[in-house]
Chains A and B, each alone.
Chain A
Amino acid sequence: MAHESSYVPGNFVEKWIDDRLPIIRWSKEHLMDYPTPKNLNYWWTFGAILAFMLAVQIITGIVLAMHYTPQIGLAFDSVEHIRRDVNGGRIIQSVHATGASMFFAAMYIHMFRGLYFGSYKAPREVIWILGVLLFVLVVTTAFMGYVLPWGQMSFWAATVITNIVGAIPVIGTPILELLRGGFAVDNATLNRFFSLHYLLPFVIAAVVALHIWALHVPGNNNPIGVEVKSSRETVPFHPYYTMKDLFAVVVFCIPFAWFAFFAPDILGHPDNYIMANSQVTPAHIVPEWYFLPFYAILRAIDFNILFIDSKLGGVIFFAGAILVLFVVPWLDTSKVRSGTFRPIFKWFFWLFIANFVFLTWLGSAPAEGIYVLLSKVATAYYFIYFLIVLPLLGRFETPRPLPTSISEAVLAKHESPVTAQPVTASH
């Protein structure tokens, strides 16, 4: 939100710094006085939770890298060494490993929040696109991180996922060998994945900065989706939302701590405690839970589509499931942002969420029998939601009347039992 800074340097030193590097002015504008809609609910705290999780992953990751060895003969043992011998290593390793799951949980909620409240609509398209880009970067980073312990699941995840690239006609195989640094996943692959797994979090941090920069131009969306009309509808980010976010982070840390301290392996697979063996594939390989919906989509395409064989078809749908998110701002034709005021949209949205959870479950089921058929149905709805429902609903749906302002919506909510009295918004 374009606004003049009210910052006045407090003393000689601040004045001297402000004339040379206005970092205190900048911090005050963007971290403290930044005007934030006063009606944000707890779904809006997941941005701060994600920033916290990125910091947790970077700090624990840097520490783990001091003890880890990216070499196929030593990698598996070095992770066991961290868990058994390194001081506090058991907790640091489990915070990092379960932290990935908590990161994805927060990210999915953050994305669904955006989808429900129409946060991707003009003028916030770039915020959304950067967010989808962040999702792709985090997926890539998490995948490479999962390979590092060099267990059976690590190895076969690396094999299966890099093979996806091999489905591209003509250039697929050369690119595959370029990615792996060999004809199969081997030491060269492990080494480069370690290098990139260390690099990408910093790239993510940079894109997060752009994401927040883009957010601070139009300002936050809010639960009613009506733009802020006056400064009386906003509160300064600090202390109002710093405290609210901090409280949310603390609550979020309760399940996180439970996983890290008491159930570090509950979301993992026993097979990953067997060292990687390129000669034997585990009987039932499953990715980590946060990749399962997309894995189910990949497996659902087991038939040829015209000249496209089933393997390439699966890859196209897999990639398409993520790429379609980039164009959501232009697929949704409704002028109303918030799903709260869209009676029919709500049904399709919650069906989409249920379908996404269903795809997660299907991704963990074996690729046989009824599961294959159900995966196809669920995959179809995933794409129908974005490509048919969102474009058409905007034309046919009659939205409920919107409040004229945030203030009106807030007052209506709190004073509705006493509507007999005229609302005098003079205080």
Chain B
Amino acid sequence: MATQSNPALQDAPQAGRRDFLYIATAAVGAVGVAGAVWPLINQLNPDASVLALASIEFDLSGIATGQSVTIKWRGLPVFVRNRTPEEVAAALAVPMSDLKDPQTDQERTKAGHEQWLIMIANCTHLGCIPVGESGEFGGWACPCHGSQFDTAGRIRKGPAPTNLVVPPYEFISDTLVQIG
């Protein structure tokens, strides 16, 4: 090439200016490519139809004491349990020092509705659904990797790092709850 055969050009002051042009062109090109790639990645994120289901209402009146139901919120299964007084008492009796992820029973329920335990049903380990009223602590036991939860859904034993997650929810009336 002509530029290679002319050493004067390479040593000339223009070389710095030319380097700048190369870097500037490459930088603009990189930004352009990143801008084009982002929509292709972002399309993988939850879409509008998934996000539209962010909030649901659920009627509790049909659930007797000691009964659990599993409902669906944002595609996730959610446990709604009407706990027996013994289960509430057992949860309250646990000292904080026994817990891997310390949380009181009051922090996991709403004042005045302590019998209702509402939490996302996926084990915080790898997402399996624990089986209710089983395990050493009378709460939930995960069949996949052996995590055990107490009657407040708190992790007591096994690989799960945290308690079962309580979703944001509030009581609209005594029997109607809004999740999300």
Contact = CB atoms under 8 A, between A and B. Distances in A.
A227 B144 CA distance: 50
A282 B41 contact: no
Interface string B37-55: 0000100111100100000
A281 B161 contact: no
Interface stretch (A12-20, A53-61, A174-182): A174-182
Contacts of B159: 299, 301-302, 310-311, 314
Contacts of A184: 74-77, 122
B160 to A, nearest CB: 7
Interface string B119-135: 00110111111110000
A374 interface: no
Nearest to A308: B161
A188 B50 contact: yes
A32 interface: no
Contact of A181 (B47, B121, B143, B158): B47
A299 B129 contact: no
A300 to B, nearest CB: 10
B106 interface: no
Given A177-B46, A278-B77, 9 more contacts: A184-B75, A184-B76, A184-B77, A186-B75, A278-B72, A280-B129, A281-B129, A285-B143, A314-B159
Enumerate the 7 nearest inter-chain pairs by beta-carbon distance, A residue then B residue, closest first: A184-B75, A309-B161, A163-B127, A281-B128, A367-B146, A163-B126, A160-B126
A183 B46 contact: yes
Interface of B: 41, 44-47, 50, 70, 72, 74-77, 121-122, 124-131, 142-146, 158-161
A163 B121 CA distance: 14
B128 A156 contact: yes
Contacts of B142: 281
Given A188-B47, A311-B159, A279 B77 contact: yes
A179 B44 contact: yes
Contacts of A282: 143
Contact of A182 (B75, B131, B160): B75
Interface string A312-329: 101000000000000000
Contacts of B74: 182-184
B46 A181 contact: yes
Interface in A153-167: 156, 159-160, 162-164, 166
Nearest to B142: A281
Contact of B161 (A159, A284, A311, A366): A311
B144 A160 contact: yes
A192 interface: yes
B161 A181 contact: no
Contacts of B72: 278-279
A312 B161 CA distance: 9
A181 B45 contact: yes
A311 B125 contact: yes
Contacts of A367: 144-146
A366 to B, nearest CB: 8
A158 to B, nearest CB: 9
A283 interface: yes
Interface string A235-279: 000000000000000000000000000000000000000000011
A119 to B, nearest CB: 35
A183 B160 contact: no
Contacts of B130: 281
A279 B129 contact: yes
A368 interface: yes
Contacts of A162: 127
Contact of B45 (A163, A178, A312, A372): A178
Contacts of A279: 70, 72, 77, 121, 129
Contacts of B143: 281-285
Contacts of A312: 161
A280 B73 CA distance: 15
Given A178-B45, A284-B143, A299-B159, A160 B75 contact: no
